[in-house]
Amino acid sequence: MRRVKLPNTDLEISALAYGCMRVAGTWNPAEITAERDTAGQASILAAYDAGYTLFDHADIYCAGGCEEIHGRVLKGTPGMRREIVIATKCGIRFGGDPNPDSPHRFDFRSEHIVRSCEKSLVRLRTDYIDIYQLHRPDYLMDPAEVAEAFVALRDAGKVRYFGVSNFLPSKVSALQRHLGFPLVVNQIEVHLGRLAPFEDGTLDQCVGDRIAALAWSPLAGGWLGEGFDAPDSDPRSKLLRAVDEFAALHRVTRTEIALAWLMQHPAPIVPIIGTTKPTRIRQATKAADLDLGREAWYKLMVAARGEGLP
Ligand SMILES: NC(=O)c1ccc[n+]([C@@H]2O[C@H](COP(=O)([O-])OP(=O)(O)OC[C@H]3O[C@@H](n4cnc5c(N)ncnc54)[C@H](OP(=O)(O)O)[C@@H]3O)[C@@H](O)[C@H]2O)c1
C-alpha cells in the first residue's frame, strides 16, 4: 500500500490505518469467546498482510480486550512489532470505573494517563506505544499536568509520539503551548457525511501545524459503504447517488470513492478502516491509489453539503 510520511515524526505509515475497535466483536470482555478471539486475530493479520502499518486502539475498546487480542497476534507473529506503528488512547472512563457509582467521565490527570498507558503496554505485549492519544477532551484538563505525564512516558521510553482525538483547535493549542514537542495527530470524525472539520478550523490547524488527521468512522459507521440503500426521502440519498456515479466512472466501489475523497486532503487525512471482514480490509487498500482529481473532489463536496458553494 502507498505510504505517507507522518509529519513531525520519523514514521512512515500506510495511507490507510486499521482500526481495532471492532476486532473483539463485542464491548464486553466476558463475551470474548475462542471464536471471536480467532476472528479478531484474523482481521488484524489480514490488515497486516494487506500492507496496513498503522493500527489504532483504545483502552476502552472491549475494556482492553481488543488490545489483548492484538497482543496475542504480536506474540505469534515474529517481526510484526517493528514493522507496525501502534496507536492507542486513554482518557475516557465509563460509569462504574472503579466504583459502582462512579460516573461516565473524562480523566486527564497525570496519574491516570501514566497508569492507563502502562496497562495498554501489558495488554499489547509491547515495550512502547508509537502514538499515544487523549481520546476525548477532558473539560477539567490542566495542560501542565498532561505535559508532566507525557514527559514521564516519553523519558521512560514507553511512548514515542503523542496526539489527541476529538479536539477542537482551541483545545489543541491550549495543550500544545505546554509541550516541548509537537502533537502529531488529531483523530477526528470526518467523512462525506460529516464536514464540520472543514469549517471549524480543525483541518486548517492540521495543515498549518502539520498535524495528521486520522479519520475515524470514515464510512460513517457503514452507510457510506456497500449495501446501504437510502430512499429518496432520506437526505443522504443524493450524496450516495453522486458517490455511486463516480464509482461507476472509475469502476471501483462506493467505499473506495469515499476513502479516496478523504485522502485527497493535504493534511494528510488517514482514514481508519473499521471493517472486520478480510475481503473488505483488502478492498479498501485500492482507494490509496485512486486519484479523483480536484473537480470530482468538489462535485462530491457539493453533493455532501447538499447545497452549492458560496
Ligand atoms: N477517536 C474516536 O473517538 C473514535 C470513534 C470511533 C472509531 N474510532 C476508530 O475508527 C475506527 C473505524 O471506525 P468505524 O469502525 O466506525 O469505521 P466505519 O468503517 O465507518 O464503520 C464500520 C462499520 O461499517 C461496516 N463497513 C465497513 N466497511 C464496509 C464496506 N466496505 N461496505 C459496507 N459496510 C462496511 C462495518 O461492518 P463489517 O465489519 O461487517 O464490514 C462496520 O459495521 C475504529 O476501529 C477506531 O479505531 C475512533
pLDDT at 88: 98
Which residues, 6+ apart, have CB-to-CB distance to 217 below 8 Å? Answer: 189, 191, 272, 274
Residue 275: CB within 6 Å of ligand 1?
yes
pLDDT at 186: 98
In 148-266, the DSSP E strands lie at: 159-165, 183-189, 212-216
Query: 18, 48, 52, 61: which one is catalytic?
Result: 61
Q: Which helix (H) or strand (E) holds 198?
A: helix 196-199
Question: Amino acid letter at 84?
Answer: I
Atom 36 in ligand 1: residue holding the nearest Cα: 275
Q: Given the CA of residue 219, which atom of ligand 1 is nearest to it? A: 20
Give the model's confidence band at 30: pLDDT under 50 very low, under 70 low, under 90 confident, else very high.
Answer: very high
Contact 302, 309 (CB under 8 A): yes
Residue 166: CB within 6 Å of ligand 1?
yes
pLDDT at 161: 98
Atom 25 in ligand 1: residue holding the nearest Cα: 222
Q: Given the CA of residue 280, which atom of ligand 1 is nearest to it? A: 31
Residue 205: CB within 6 Å of ligand 1?
no
Q: Is 48 in the active site?
A: no
Domains of the chain: 3-230+257-293 (3.20.20.100)
Give the model's confidence band at 308: pLDDT under 50 very low, under 70 low, under 90 confident, else very high.
Answer: very high
Tell me the best of 191, 261, 262, 275 to mutate to test the pocket of ligand 1, counting ligand atoms within 8 Å of each CB and taking the most: 275
Contact 95, 132 (CB under 8 A): no
Cell of 299: 462535485
The string of pLDDT tens digits covering residues 229-250 is 899 999 999 999 999 999 999 9
pLDDT at 65: 98
* 271-184-125-116 Cα dihedral, nearest 10 degrees: -110
Give the model's confidence band at 136: pLDDT under 50 very low, under 70 low, under 90 confident, else very high.
Answer: very high
Cα 111 to averaged position of ligand 1 atoms, centre (Å): 31
pLDDT > 90 in the chain, percent? 99
Tell me what the pLDDT averaged over the chain comes to.
97
Burial 141-177 (b: 16+ CB within 10 A, else e): bebebbbbbbeebbeeebbbbbbbbbbbbebbeebbe
Q: What is the spatial distance between Cα 262 and Cα 300, in angstroms, rounded to a whole number?
A: 11
Residue 17: CB within 6 Å of ligand 1?
no
What's the rounded mean pLDDT across residues 89-105?
97
What's the rounded mean pLDDT across residues 151-172?
98
Give the model's confidence band at 81: pLDDT under 50 very low, under 70 low, under 90 confident, else very high.
Answer: very high
Q: What is the spatial distance between Cα 73 and Cα 83, in angstroms, rounded to a whole number?
A: 13
Give the model's confidence band at 252: pLDDT under 50 very low, under 70 low, under 90 confident, else very high.
Answer: very high
Q: Which helix (H) or strand (E) holds 46?
A: helix 34-49
Give the model's confidence band at 3: pLDDT under 50 very low, under 70 low, under 90 confident, else very high.
Answer: very high
Q: What is the spatial distance between Cα 10 and Cα 13, in angstroms, rounded to a whole number?
A: 10
What's the rounded mean pLDDT across residues 90-94?
98
Give the model's confidence band at 59: pLDDT under 50 very low, under 70 low, under 90 confident, else very high.
Answer: very high
The string of pLDDT tens digits covering residues 162-200 is 999 999 999 999 999 999 999 999 999 999 999 999 999
Pairing mode, strands 85-90 and 129-134: parallel
Residue 16 region by backbone torsions, left for phi larger than 0, else alpha for psi between -120 and 50, else beta: beta
Residue 133: CB within 6 Å of ligand 1?
no
Burial class of residue 201, CB neighbours in 10 A (0-12, 13-18, 19+): middle
pLDDT at 56: 98
Q: What is the spatial distance between Cα 93 and Cα 134, in angstroms, rounded to a whole number?
A: 12
Atom 45 in ligand 1: residue holding the nearest Cα: 19
Contact 52, 18 (CB under 8 A): yes
